[in-house]
Chain A
Amino acid sequence: MKTVQELREIARDVRIDALRGIHSAGAGHPGGSLSVTDILVSLYFNVMNVNPEDPKMEGRDRLVLSKGHAAPALYSVLAHRGYFDPAELLTLRKLGSRLQGHPSMELCPGVEMSTGSLGQGFSVAVGMAIADKIDGKSRRTFVVTGDGELQEGIIWEAALSAAKHGLDNLIAVVDWNNLQIDGVVDTVKKVAPIDDKFAAFGWETFVCDGHDMQSLLDAYEKAMAVKGKPVCIVAKTVKGKGVSFMENQAGWHGKAPSDEQLEAAIKELGGEK
């Protein structure tokens, strides 16, 4: 268990290494990787029962990154958690790498589901939680989605399924950064109010600050105490969080920083040169 301060420091290193990977690849998704980092760090370091030495450990908690384009953040968190050497992060998106442009469960240790086609990971996670209910397993499934991703119809089909089965072993976290490739989510196709929609679909909901570790940890604690229904945590985030010239810019959804931009970003995040 890490202190909040330690989690912040880990998140700083995770962000820097995610950006280094994207820079090395010359392509990738920095905006959504930076917005989801604190959500993933807090889950993998303080909440989930996982074992990097034994990624397939029986009874482990599972996480599906349904917004698979944030793979650089997931890989960086997994590396810092001990699943593999952070040096491998520089192979991102390169031929022969285990770190594919979108997560591959068959290649990368710690990845529970191959994702990338939006919405599907959410439904797959519902299936995982249904299986655990049938099997009488007490472990949890976490699924992390984008807010723009909620425009996919399969999300709402699966949300109905989760409520039907009373999946209190399923916790969804929405990375609510209000930006997608074509602009502001509220403008492209509004999904807000996200918490009210999930509540109407039979879920318990909590809203938290997705960049405040204590706020996230408090939300998880409340979520894990809920019985009889699935929980959706709507985590308010900032796309590109921590790098001022990337923050709230849809243009940084899917492009790599230049050498100078990487250097400036690392400096701003508080990393060494």
Chain B
Amino acid sequence: MADVKKVATRQAYGEFLAEYGAERQDLIAMSADLSGSNKTDIFEKAFPERFVEVGISEQDMYAEAAGIAHSGHVVAASTFAMFAAGRSFEIIRNSIAHTHANVKICATHGGITVGEDGASHQTFEDIALMRVLPDMVVLNPADGVSTKILLRQEFDQDRPAYIRLGRAGVPDLYAEDADLEIGKGYLLKDGSDVAIIATGILVADALKAAEVLEAEGISARVIDMHTIKPIDEDIIVKAASECKGIVTVEEHSVIGGLGGAVAEVTAQKCPCRIAMVGQRDVFGESGKPAELLKKYGMTADDIAAAARTLV
């Protein structure tokens, strides 16, 4: 497995922008001084006349993005998740979400796998902040391939969306013709004892955990919940009714993110036991991504351990 291809979802995003920009002349990309990191530089090289460098002023970028979108464009506006969902929250709320501006907030460097930059840059709150906004679509793809598939679907829609992208390379889980659809969780592996519902780059670890559990005789279902909003209620209710419990897995606070969204559905439609794997209401710190995932309890081993408590 040493030579498994690894691609960061941010890299797939940058490549997608350049491909999509060739098809749609009304696409404008914006960046707040991090174009090499958020990969909008790929678009910039191809279409410099449609790239807006805003400098270190994220709030200005998102308000300007609303103005550009309301002038007849689809806008991809990128910075780190901390400065998008965090610093610019109220601007996104009032100028983008409330006005239904066609802005795709493509936020990179989400979660603890930002690594060495430490707590100031490790975002565990963005999914909670974005999914509470009416009509905001929230996506968190698991690999490079699904990033491109989901981005294409989302960019074809005229509406605001938040797309969380990661810094670290992750293995490809999907084929390029995978039947993914925004708003529908994807059943990666069937199972009947426990359902693991994961989102983002930890979906790969959820699959590893399922293998470990299988070897122990525990049948684990794995669902990629790439869309946090609108959440796929049917697949959650089905899992809740057919399995003994649900494990939610996210590189995000266990408060308000995927775990919260799943619990809101089960509590109202099909109560079941839930174990949540994610950042446990603490800030992060500097370290290598793998070290941090281990220390803060978001590895395949942690997922398997959580599953065992439910069967």
Spell out A's residues near B (CB within 8 Å).
Answer: 105-106, 112-114, 116-117, 120, 123-132, 134-135, 153-154, 157-158, 160-161, 164
The yes or no answer to B66 lying at the interface (CB within 8 A) is yes
The yes or no answer to B134 lying at the interface (CB within 8 A) is no
Q: Which residues of B contact A128 (CB under 8 A)?
A: 67-68, 70-71
Q: Are B59 and A127 interface neighbours, CB within 8 A?
A: no
Q: Which of B41-99 contact A (CB under 8 A)?
A: 49-50, 52, 54-55, 57, 59-60, 63-68, 70-73, 90-91, 94-95, 98-99
Q: Are A127 and B63 interface neighbours, CB within 8 A?
A: yes
| Interface size in chain B (residues, C-beta < 8 A) | 26
Instruction: Find the residue from A116, A153, A154 having the highest chain B CB count within 10 A.
Output: A154
Give the CA-CA distance A123 to B66 in the complex, in Å: 9
* Contact partner, A123, options B60, B71, B99, Cβ 8 Å: B60
Spell out B's residues near A (CB within 8 Å).
Answer: 28, 49-50, 52, 54-55, 57, 59-60, 63-68, 70-73, 90-91, 94-95, 98-100
Q: Are A126 and B67 interface neighbours, CB within 8 A?
A: yes
Q: Are A114 and B91 interface neighbours, CB within 8 A?
A: no
Q: Are B94 and A157 interface neighbours, CB within 8 A?
A: no
Q: Are B64 and A126 interface neighbours, CB within 8 A?
A: yes
Decide if the interface of chain A is mainly helix, strand, loop or mixed. Answer: helix
Q: Are A154 and B71 interface neighbours, CB within 8 A?
A: no
Give the CA-CA distance A130 to B50 in the complex, in Å: 10
Q: Which residues of A contact B67 (CB under 8 A)?
A: 113, 123-131
Q: Which residues of A contact B98 (CB under 8 A)?
A: 114
Q: A105-B99, A123-B67 are in contact. Are A117 and B60 (CB under 8 A)?
A: no
| Those 6 A-B pairs whose CB atoms lie nearest each other, nearest first | A127-B67, A127-B64, A123-B63, A131-B71, A157-B60, A157-B57
Give the CA-CA distance A164 to B57 in the complex, in Å: 13
Q: Which residues of B contact A164 (CB under 8 A)?
A: 55
Q: Which residues of B contact A113 (CB under 8 A)?
A: 66-67, 70, 95, 99
Q: Are A154 and B91 interface neighbours, CB within 8 A?
A: yes
Give the CA-CA distance A135 to B94 in the complex, in Å: 25
Q: Are B50 and A124 interface neighbours, CB within 8 A?
A: no
Q: Are B94 and A114 interface neighbours, CB within 8 A?
A: yes
Q: Are B71 and A160 interface neighbours, CB within 8 A?
A: no
Q: Are B59 and A130 interface neighbours, CB within 8 A?
A: no
CB nearest neighbor in B for A154:
B59
Q: Which residues of A contact B73 (CB under 8 A)?
A: 131
| Subset of 10 A-B contacts with CB under 8 Å | A106-B100, A120-B95, A123-B64, A125-B67, A127-B64, A128-B68, A131-B67, A131-B68, A135-B72, A154-B59
